[in-house]
């Protein structure tokens, strides 16, 4: 479906690319302003050491002049009480040495406990103690890298631990204490609404939308009634409308909207459909 009401405020369009599919990249590049790269997914193990793929880095260096690049990590585990993953910084350092990046981001969650990987990313308890810990870590990241740093809301797989803050209140405190900005994944909000009855309009009324710099849209599947945040489908119209609503209310702070999909989904979706999806988003958010 192509027809969508325009948001009136133009937003740049981006999409994920994990390398190794030059035909897909060729189709997407004329349609996007940004390519989002995840350091861990373009890494390979050589001699028992994790390092960025030389081939993928060559691909990224070749597109640097045509598009902007943003980094979106998944392995930092900023909320693990015992400390974050320093391996992530090694990959990020190596990437930033080789290509120019507009900003970098991670997820507001944790993937390990006591050094044990959970195999899933979980949302943080919204307590003062966790807020202090995360703010301290965000400030360290900002001191280490001279780039804007953004954090993204993730889905709630399990019910929330009773905390001191609402979802929006925690994010507001985080951005106001650190100066970091937010990625709002509006599909994640819809998953939380479907799975836990999350009040999206109450959240949007409370959150400081002028601190949101990037939006994510995606679509996954329902399994046993649970809406999963696997990125395997084309965006639903309701997700686009929600993103447009956020853009309208964000007073120009949203600069970029990223359509996320997993490389595993490409054969099922098809490269044509992905290109068509990016055209549809340009129309809905374009200039």
Q: Which residues bind Fe ion (CB under 5 A)?
A: 185, 216
| In the complex, least distance from residue 192 CB atom to Fe ion, rounded to whole angstroms | 13
Q: Are 153 and 108 in contact (CB under 8 A)?
A: yes
| In the complex, least distance from residue 260 CB atom to Fe ion, rounded to whole angstroms | 5
Q: Which residue is nearest to Fe ion (CB)?
A: 216
Q: Please, which residue, 57 or 103, has the CB nearer to Fe ion? A: 103
Q: Please, which residue, 121 or 284, has the CB nearer to Fe ion? A: 121
Q: Please, which residue, 239 or 253, has the CB nearer to Fe ion? A: 239
Q: Please, which residue, 37 or 57, has the CB nearer to Fe ion? A: 37
If you ran DSSP here, which 8-state letter would residue 41 be given? G
| Short-list 117, 39, 32, CA closest to 72 | 39
| Short-list 173, 168, 176, 247, CA closest to 214 | 247
Q: Please, which residue, 112 or 216, has the CB nearer to Fe ion? A: 216
| In the complex, least distance from residue 72 CB atom to Fe ion, rounded to whole angstroms | 8
| In the complex, least distance from residue 185 CB atom to Fe ion, rounded to whole angstroms | 4
| In the complex, least distance from residue 191 CB atom to Fe ion, rounded to whole angstroms | 11
Beta strands in the chain (DSSP E): 12-16, 34-37, 43-46, 49-52, 68-72, 104-107, 109-113, 116-123, 149-152, 181-185, 212-217, 222-223, 226-227, 256-259
The rounded distance, in Å, linking the Cα atoms of 4 and 280 is 8
């Amino acid at each position: 479906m192509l027809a969508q009401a325009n948001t009136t405020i133009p937003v740049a369009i981006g999409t994920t690319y994990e390398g190794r599919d030059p035909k897909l990249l060729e189709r997407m590049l004329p349609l996007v302003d940004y390519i989002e790269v995840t350091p861990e997914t373009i890494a390979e193990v050589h001699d028992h050491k994790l390092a960025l793929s030389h081939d993928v880095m060559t691909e990224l260096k070749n597109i640097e002049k045509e598009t902007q690049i943003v980094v979106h990590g998944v392995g930092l585990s900023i909320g693990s009480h015992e400390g974050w993953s320093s391996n992530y910084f090694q990959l990020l350092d190596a990437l930033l040495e080789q290509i120019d990046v507009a900003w970098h981001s991670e997820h507001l969650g944790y993937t390990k406990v006591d050094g044990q990987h959970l195999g899933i990313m979980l949302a943080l308890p919204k307590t003062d103690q966790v807020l202090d810990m995360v703010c301290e870590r965000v400030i360290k990241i900002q001191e280490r890298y001279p780039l804007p740093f953004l954090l993204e809301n993730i889905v709630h797989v399990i019910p929330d631990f009773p905390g001191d803050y609402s979802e929006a209140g925690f994010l507001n405190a985080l951005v106001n204490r650190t100066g970091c900005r937010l990625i709002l994944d509006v599909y994640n909000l819809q998953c939380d609404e479907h799975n836990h009855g999350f009040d999206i309009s109450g959240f949007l009324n409370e959150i400081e939308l002028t601190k949101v710099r990037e939006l994510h849209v995606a679509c996954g599947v329902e399994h046993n009634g649970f809406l999963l945040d696997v990125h395997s489908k084309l965006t639903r119209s309701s997700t686009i409308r929600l993103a447009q609503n956020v853009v309208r209310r964000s007073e120009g702070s949203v600069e970029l909207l990223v359509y996320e999909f997993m490389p595993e989904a490409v054969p099922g979706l098809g490269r044509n459909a992905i290109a068509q999806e990016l055209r549809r988003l340009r129309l809905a958010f374009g200039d």
